Structure 1
Amino acid sequence: MTTTETVGGAARRAAQHPLLDKLAKVGFAARGVLYALIGLVALQIAFGGSGGEEADKSGAIHMVAAQPFGSVLLWIMAVGLAGLALWQIGEAIWGRPKLRERVESVARAVVYVTLVVSITSLLLKGKEAASTDSQSQDATRALFELPGGQFLVGLFALGLMALGVYWIHEGWTEKFMRDMHVTEPKARTTVVRLGKAGYIARGVVAIAAGVLVGQAALTYDPDKAAGIDDALKSLSETPMGPWLLAAVAIGLILFAAYCFAESRWHRT
């Protein structure tokens, strides 16, 4: 057996270790905490106030940090999200037969690693997590500086909107349940409803963010690009006003509950 085969076998055994499965479940719960806080802040915005918090994952991290024993909870969340990232990498390499599913696992791992970096930077260096609005604006500004930058920003906007449509499709068709092992009928019905509402809400937010990035592309203004917070706030400016934002906020809170269900029933 070659050294490469030995290392590869050891890596695969590590990826399938029961401890990593447990950490991944903690990571699902940590994701639930973040979405619950995002939804609650968005709900406050819908009815006239948010206390200055950003309705995105950076704002949620700062809200956790401000609580009693917040640092302890953030360390637990960081470890869980790191475990979830490693589990997704293992899924991309060994667990998923289709290329699309492998790409999705890699993308999720990148998101979780970014969250871990944000949390640990706050805990170890006191560095505040960057908002998704500023991240989107920085990415848009960087794309504008490339040849064909305006076209690239337009593709970025279309990609966000396509992601939103994909999430809505996942929710409406209940395909998110393919990795959920819920055998009890009443529990399964509840989880399906939570996931359906949550995925559709996430899809609406992604489409709204894509529209704002598209406006940035058309006007050549990176400051018009948006992350989760500005995308949510833009919903209150639609003809449905704050009621659409409130509905999406409730959907995000329901998605948080679905994440907690994932921590119990998701295949790992």
Structure 2
Amino acid sequence: MRSFCAITGLVVIGLMACVEASVRAGPYQIMYLWNAYCIEVETYGHGNTWTAQNCNQGKANPCDFDEFIKHIEMARNKPGWTGSTGVGTAKDLDVIQTAENLKTLGYSSTIDPAKLSPSSFTKQDQPTLGRLLQDSFDAIQQAKTDILKVSGKSYANIADFVYNAGESLDVCIDMRRADQADALIKDYKAGMATYGFTDKDVAYKSPKPTLPNGGDFDEIDVEATIKKNPNLTEAWKKFIRDYVSNYDQLAGAPLKHTTAIIDLQKIRDGIWGSFSCF
């Protein structure tokens, strides 16, 4: 329990929002893009895709999974990822198992827009996540129609990949929400420490929210936190409630993360919305 000083100047000093990359979600975004690539290859053939069009350029076969993820990885000052997932030439990959394996293997999951969609982006472009994934979504939607025009093929040839793409985004959204909860906790504790608030003064929801990969995450329980600190003034209580409930709209990293989640939901809903039509 803490006895807090007056909150004069709190709005001025504020609680700063740290920049939080989506640690959990990155590999699931990769899985979405991989399945988009497989859909396009199946429909249009190697070298005729929008997604990773230049992957294995000049070679007889399209990229396998390892070649694909290395191709679209953002170049850094150090060499890119050189590991192996061990999946070989398999295409229909288990979404959660493969994504979690990428985390374990240390793949960065940082996408190079110019390599992912060379027809849309240059090396100088820095698109939002929604814009980055939009080309692949458009290609998926178009392929659902165009596959019916390919001799000897039907929607069944891409159905599993479409399902996997939708599942990838389902999990990706859950993971981003968990990352946002992590960022909120980090920012909240850093800001409140200025006023003598410690880790022991924060209460979390119990049981913990769970994730599709079997993991869980912490989420602030606002009312339990307030109850844990009975000396809080009404002004403090209001501030805590407002800060936690409005965190998603804070300028900077929180709002950008929220926008990314909304963009993912729109794309996900578009995939599932038409999936039932086939």
- Report the TM-score, using the length of structure 2 for normalisation: 0.28
Greater Rg by CA: 2
- Report the TM-score, using the length of structure 1 for normalisation: 0.28
